[in-house]
Structure 1
Amino acid sequence: MKNKIIATSIELFEKQGFTETSIQHIVDALDVTKGTFYYYFQSKEQLLMDIHTQYIDDLLHRQQQVIAEYETAKDQLTAMFHLLIQDIEIQGARARVFLREMRHLMDTNSVEVKEKRDEFRLVIEEVIRQGIEAGELLESLDPAITAFAFLSLTNYSYNWFNPHGALTAAQLSDAYSDIFFKGIVKEG
């Protein structure tokens, strides 16, 4: 039942937004009582926290798998492009709720999620730093700014990318990789 509450809430949060979705909306959609909801969650905000924690913990785990599987900075970063964009396709509403609704977490909860988001970003930053040190990436890059650029490019995609549209997640990831690694200015 806990997973059903989470899944239904994600759908409702995506369609209506967190603030416009009440606990009553959630229990009505599941045809259960508020008591059932409160058996699993102390509040709607705790439910949102669980959604965020599950999502970022899974993302961090898969990021570590990417780091272990690929050797070069370029391959690791390319795989992370695919990881993040495919999440929009595969996890859909969950990814959008994660990226859009964090602003509704109370300070105590948002600190924990922000720390984990920072951890994800810092891994990207370290990959970039190692790529620079290995001579694989430009020496002039600032790893922190480049990591933010990487995440800005991918994370905003949830606003417009339609996995059922003309562009696939793989095509978008490849396009981002090209832009990121090759730039947009024609040499020569």
Structure 2
Amino acid sequence: MARNATGSGGGTGDGTGPGSGAAVPERLLAEATRLFAEHGYDRTSVQEIVAAAGVTKGALYHYFGSKDDLLHEIYGRVLRLQTARLDAIAARATDVRDRLAEAAADVVVTSIENLDDTKIFFRSMHQLSPEKQRAVRAERRRYHETFRSLIEEGQRDGHFRAELRPDLVVDFFFGSVHHLGTWYRADGPLSARQVATEFSDLLLHSVRRP
């Protein structure tokens, strides 16, 4: 994971002078994401990443312990964003149907907005250390459990079909979300919001009581 990602300049060895250190992690992550997307994680070297970011290897190791820390953080920052947004949606005192619809749309939009990050991660996750893989799975499980709790709440309130298994609903929906990287194109006919609205509508129609 990123270390000292909000730290300020000086002593990083990036050659950009004091006060510029705060931008170094973002530059490294941006260039790593681009290179991993273009060439693949295993075919991208640390030297290529630091050269593209305009920093030294010392700067990279100041913020990230290794190349797989970069891979971990590329997805980790997206998952943290999505988790924070879902937690805020789930905590609202509004109709659970509206919260589930919003949560479903939000994860689609944020996935599309960070499509390279998620594509790279799912393609290369097996190359992380076992410890990091376990950490990511635990973080994703917590996100899915919060999402599932909305379905369970809707069942208790009589809004959603009682015979459905919430865990299977979550698996089915997120299978479609994770598949976005195989077909969605930013220059295609549908915007992120249009896809999000249709995914959300499909989910709500599938769980709502007749």
Report the TM-score, using the length of structure 2 for normalisation. Answer: 0.79
- Of Structure 1 and Structure 2, which has the larger fraction of its residues in helix? 1
Q: Identity of counterpart residues, as a percentage? A: 24
Runs of 4+ in 1 over 6 A off after TM superposition: none
Task: Give the number of equivalent residue pairs.
Answer: 184
CA contact (8 A) 1:87 1:95 kept: no
Other structure's SS at 1:101 match:
helix
CA contact (8 A) 1:81 1:154 kept: no
Give the aligned partner of residue 61 of structure 1.
84
* 1:73 partnered with 2:96: yes
What root-mean-square deviation, in Å, do the aligned CA atoms of Structure 1 and Structure 2 show? 1.9
CA contact (8 A) 1:121 1:147 kept: yes
Q: State the one-letter code of the partner of 2:37.
A: E
CA contact (8 A) 2:119 2:181 kept: yes
Structure 1 CA distance, aligned partners of 2:105 and 2:188? 17
Where structure 2 has 5 or more consecutive residues not aligned to the other structure, the ranges are 1-23
Where structure 1 has 5 or more consecutive residues not aligned to the other structure, the ranges are none
Deviates more, 1:137-146 or 1:61-70: 61-70
TM-superposed CA distance for 1:58, in Å, is 1.7
Query: How does 1:126-137 map onto structure 2 within 5 Å?
Result: 126-137=149-160
Give the aligned partner of residue 19 of structure 1.
42
Deviates more, 1:137-146 or 1:45-54: 45-54
Structure 1 CA distance, aligned partners of 2:200 and 2:29? 33
* 1:9 partnered with 2:26: no
Instruction: Choose the corresponding residue for 2:128, options 105, 122, 144.
Output: 105
Give the aligned partner of residue 151 of structure 1.
174
Report the TM-score, using the length of structure 1 for normalisation. Answer: 0.88
Deviates more, 1:2-11 or 1:36-45: 36-45
